[in-house]
Amino acid sequence: MNQAHHEEIDLVELLAKSFRALRRNLVLILICIGVAVGLAIWKFSTSALVYESRMLIYSSILTESYCLELGESLNALIRDGNHKVLAARLGLTEQEAARIRKVTMKGALQTVPEEDRLAIVVTVRTTDNGILPALQKGIMEFIAENDFVKIRAEERKRVYEELLASVKEEIEKLETVKQKMAQGSTVSPAGMLLMDPSEAYVKTVQLVEQKLELEEKLRLVNSVQLVEGFIPRNRPVGPGLPLLLSGAIVAGILLSAVVLGFKYAWLLSQRDE
């Protein structure tokens, strides 16, 4: 029991010493906290507010990996502060390009294979929502005018046109056959049966469906189509002032602990000498 009482007294003495040390160094602690809070307020007041907006585009040509590379090429210019080249690529002024903070491109549906991710989400962070219309147009043109994208679009267009021409030719041949059937001529000059009449109609329906699908693909063969443009958001991203102040107080306390540690280490070294 005496040992437990002794340990309790030691804890009380340690707590009392801690309070005395805190009281002696209260000014230093408050100074450290004040400096950290002041820096947080200065950082918040001098930093431009950053807003985030998203745009949805459709592309049957772009893959997600290629979109990531396109976005990274723009971000590299942003990090380097090369606003002149960035402005030239996006069709903006240098002042507008300087307000862009980040561009991200990725597939909208992560649960499907990459080759089937036809919807691409473009996310931008800027300090001015007023540049979003021009930025939207610039990003669309930047993607569409890319040499790789243009070549793939032209090649796919050529393939669709050739397939469409072949399907139309087959439909015309079947229409001729059906006209002969309607006239009662179902036998060729050599005396052989041309085909079952029902088969001709079924084949025609299949070819017409194929023709409509090819025509739709041909209309959508352009590199990118806009699904939904940028919508300005009034709430900025990033930590707000209350969160910054909370972090500053914690940082100030940690800073004071480090300073006090160096102080007492210095006193001990002086005492040992």
pLDDT by residue for the chain (273 residues), tens only, comes to: 455 545 555 666 666 666 676 777 777 778 888 888 888 777 777 667 889 999 988 877 776 777 788 888 899 999 998 999 999 999 999 999 999 999 988 876 654 454 555 678 899 999 889 999 999 999 988 887 777 777 777 777 777 778 878 878 777 777 777 676 666 555 544 444 445 566 767 777 777 787 787 777 767 666 677 888 998 888 887 666 677 778 878 888 888 878 777 777 777 776 655
> CA-CA distance, 54 to 200, in Å (whole number)?
50
pTM beyond 0.85, yes or no:
no
> CA-CA distance, 231 to 210, in Å (whole number)?
38
Contacts by 218-222, CB closer than 8 A, 24 or more apart: 218/157, 218/160, 218/161, 218/164, 220/58, 220/60, 221/60, 221/153, 221/156, 221/157, 221/160, 222/144, 222/153
